[in-house]
Amino acid sequence: MSKSEPPPYGFVPPPQAPPSYAQAINGVNAAAPLTPQQPILTAQHIVTTVIPLGPHSTHTICPSCGCEINTKTKTSPGLIAYVSGFLIAVFGCWLGCCLIPCCIDECMDVHHNCPACGSYLGRHRR
Ligand SMILES: [Zn+2]
């Protein structure tokens, strides 16, 4: 087919359900693939669980994927670490001491992630 003809006058394309691929190819009305109805998200999707996040890996149910998981923890210097590091720096100890608070575990925030889906669950703040 080298040229496409304009649709005849009066041709109104069906307002819904454009022809499927198989239909267009074979001209056969294939069994219309029923779009599965999205399950109505009710109680199971409402995330109201307040996960008690501690400084260590916590056994919980991931509110995102619903898996039973042990949270993956990752520490990062919290505000205290930065502030105390800054204060130490201000008070004249420049020989790397300002980095100490960033290495003290007690100053670290603990971030919890889901190992299954990777979603961020929250953090434990010191
Ligand atoms: Zn998850």
Residues 5-14 pLDDT 10s: 666 677 666 6
Q: Ligand 1: distance of its center to the CA of 124 in Å?
A: 18
Q: Ligand 1: distance of its center to the CA of 41 in Å?
A: 17
- The first and second tokens of residue 24, run together, are 């267009």
Residues 21-58 pLDDT 10s: 656 666 555 555 666 665 555 444 445 556 678 888 99
Closest CA to 62 of 54, 70, 52: 70
CB 68 within 8 A of CB 111: no
Query: Does the pLDDT at position 1 exceed 90?
Result: no
Query: Does the pLDDT at position 104 exceed 90?
Result: no
Query: Does the pLDDT at position 84 exceed 70?
Result: yes
Listed residues: CB within 5 A of ion ligand 1: 62, 64-65, 114, 116-117
pTM, to two decimals: 0.46
